[in-house]
Amino acid sequence: HQLDLDCSIGQLESNRDAGLFALSCDDLIVRVIDLTTKKVIRSFKGHSSRITDSCFSRDGRWLFTSSEDTSVRVWDLPTARCIDWMEFEEPVTSLTFSPTGEYLATAHANNVGISLWVNRAHFGQAVIDKAATGAVRMTLPNAGNEVDSNVVSSDGESNSDEESSESNNDDEIYDLDGIIKEMEGLSYADSLLKLSGHPVSRWYALGQLDLIKERN
């Protein structure tokens, strides 16, 4: 079967389970094709520059598109509207949506890392019931809050040895029972986002529970 369009196709993304594929065209319109009827069932227009990548959600309900205009848009196929619109500091060069629907991963120009974004609708923290009317400014997350080990105090002396000693003492008196109690009391949906605010050392300790038990 041959489908004739009035413009060139820059990218193709398919969803075999839903029987759909999306065509990112040079006229900045994303066209969704139904493999059964061999017809265009949706046309999404909104980006102002070349479309860099696209991906479907696993169930084929949502289509994610990124563009050199630094935006990412989320299109809802059943309602044929844009339900989310994000803008970043740098253009998104590649994106993918997790099969379980929890996260969106993006790669950005002039950045070597991969950023993960939580799908709040998946955890019941957002309701998608209307079209997006404006862009939401997004800030790329930091790789981590690392502190220089050779910290110099106000009197010019290095605190690295002192902090190393304090760190060793903290390991020896780590409140293991408190950690376990806190983990048991956390609910899945409410705490998954909040846990990211805890110190990194708390997560390192979870992998050394047997060793900590022996120490205590």
Spatial CB neighbours of 24, under 8 Å, sequence gap ≥ 6: 9, 10, 11, 12, 13, 30, 51, 54, 65
What is the DSSP pairing of strand 136-137 with strand 81-87?
Answer: parallel
For the stretch 2-52, pLDDT in tens is 777 778 888 999 998 889 999 999 999 999 999 888 889 999 999 999 999
Single pTM value for the model: 0.64
* Termini Cα distance of the chain: 71
For the stretch 155-207, pLDDT in tens is 444 444 444 444 444 444 456 566 556 655 554 444 444 444 555 555 555 66
Q: Tell me the Cα Rg of the chain.
A: 24
pLDDT tier, 145 (very low <50, low <70, confident <90, very high otherwise)? very low
How far apart, in whole angstroms, are the C-alpha atoms of residue 214 and residue 11? Answer: 56
